[in-house]
Each structure stands twice: as C-alpha cells, then as structure tokens.
Amino acid sequence: MPAAPQKKAVCKAALVNLDESSGSLLRDCFKQFRIHATDITTNDAQWLSEQKYDACVLRLETGCESMLEAMRSSPLNRHMVIYGIVSPGQTLRQFSKYGINVMLNHPLDRPSALKVVRSTHLLVLHEFRRYVRLPVITDVQVEYERHKYPATSVEISGGGMSMSSKSPFKNGQLVELSFSLPNSQPLACAATVSWVDERESLVGVRFDPTDERRATIKRWIEDYLEI
C-alpha cells in the first residue's frame, strides 16, 4: 500500500510578553497564513533552547536587549524572523545590531498588522525562492565624496540594499557602505545608487560586482536563510 502523505509541519511564531489585545490580533493575522502563534510570558530566555520557532514578536523597549541577544545567539532560533513593535518617534539605534527584520507600530491596528504579516509571511514559511530580498533593519553609514551620511537598511539581497534616508542621493552616485549584521563582523562594500524615492525617503543601491567584499554579504544571507 502507498505510504500515507505526510502533513507539512506548522510554522510557529512566539509572541513574547505581549498584552492580551496585541496577542489576540497577531494570532489571528498569522493564522491566516498557516502560522501558529504562541504566547511566551517570561523574561527568561530558556524557551529559546526548548523549541524551534520560525518567527517572534516583541516590544522594542529598554531592557529587551538581553532577550534579543539570546535570540540571535540561539542555536535553534537564531534565524527566526524578528518582528519588533515600536512606538511613534522611537529611537531604534540601540537595537540596530540585532538585525530586526520587520517593524510594527504601537498601538497595533488590524489592517496595518495584517498588511505587514502578508508581506513577510513567505519568509516565515521558508519559501525563500519567492522572497528574494531579506528584510533586516540596521544602521548604515554611506560615504560619498568624503562626506558620511546616516541611513537605515530596509531590505538586503546579495546584489544590493534598499535604505531609508533623508540625505540627498542621486542616481548613479558611487558610494561606500558600512554596516553590521547579526553575528557578523562589520561589513563594507562599494555600491552605486540605482534609484531614489524622495517622497518616501528611500534609496536603493547596487553592490559593486567587482568588490570582493560583496561575497561576505552573500555568505551571511545564505547562512541566515539556511534551514
């Protein structure tokens, strides 16, 4: 007799110390995309070594750094997608090195949360071939003609990066990027500005294919997406 078909394992998201309203809303949003969300109510990081999760959601607030550090150094869970809940106008520099993947605005509202989950669920489900750009939020220093400009990464791939920046960039500019990613040494690469969206304060750059340092960025992405 033919073997019975095996059911695909359910992807899991951890909702870390969220209030009841936020937890209920997110459980419903994740459920629509075959992701089972579970409440985690502890400041102890022991849960990270007991079970594998594909994503987690937590408030980015003072004191959560130790939990983020445990997440990114966990053998079981260092690759999970981290959704950070932030307050309007909140400074995020202190969380930059942890490579937060996605931001949710507090207080949560259903349409916005559902839009965010819909746009990122393929990454949580490990359908990487359909998700060519990796969302990761980290500080970026952009050097152009000996001047340095601050930016924040939005998405990164082996070929380039999109960033949020209010600095004046133009198509075709040759720049030098410096940034850090979780569990990596500081990275740098030459790049060319390929597009600018002034209305949204976004800029896209293409890594210089002749810059040998690009290989290090590609290896980090491949390692991050390794299942």
pLDDT at 128 (0 to 100): 60
Q: Which residues pair with 56 in a beta bridge?
A: 14, 82
pTM of the model: 0.82
Q: Are 82 and 69 in contact (CB under 8 A)?
A: no
What percentage of the chain exceeds 70 in pLDDT? Answer: 93
CATH 3.40.50.2300 residue ranges for the chain: 11-130
Tell me which fold the domain 135-224 belongs to.
Thrombin, subunit H (2.40.10)
User: How many Cα atoms within 13 Å fall on the side-chain side of residue 115?
Assistant: 8
Q: What is the arithmetic mean of pLDDT over 156-181?
A: 94
β-pairing verdict for 81-86 and 55-59: parallel
State yes or no: pLDDT of 162 exceeds 60.
yes
Instruction: Indicate whether 15 pLDDT > 90.
Output: yes
Query: Distance between CA 122 and CA 81 in Å, rounded?
Result: 11
Tell me how many degrees the CA angle 140-146-148 measures, rounded to the nearest 5.
25
State residue 154 phi and psi, 5-degree precision.
Answer: -115, -55
Q: In which band, very low, low, confident or very high, does the pLDDT at 6 lie, cut at 50, 70 and 90?
A: very low
Coil, helix or strand for 108? Answer: coil
Q: How many CB atoms lie within 10 A of CB 134?
A: 21
At the topology level, CATH places domain 11-130 in Rossmann fold (3.40.50)
Whole-number Å distance between alpha carbons of 11 and 177 = 35
Contact indicator for 205, 161 with CB cutoff of 8 Å: yes
How far apart CA 158 and CA 184 sit, in angstroms, is 15
H or E element, residue 218? helix 214-224
Domain with CATH 2.40.10.220 in the chain: 135-224
Q: pLDDT tens for residues 63-103?
A: 999 999 999 999 999 989 999 999 988 888 889 889 999 99
- The whole-chain average pLDDT of the chain stands at 90
DSSP calls for 127-146 = -GGG--SEE-B-EEEEEETT
Residue 190 contacts residue 174 (beta carbons within 8 Å): yes
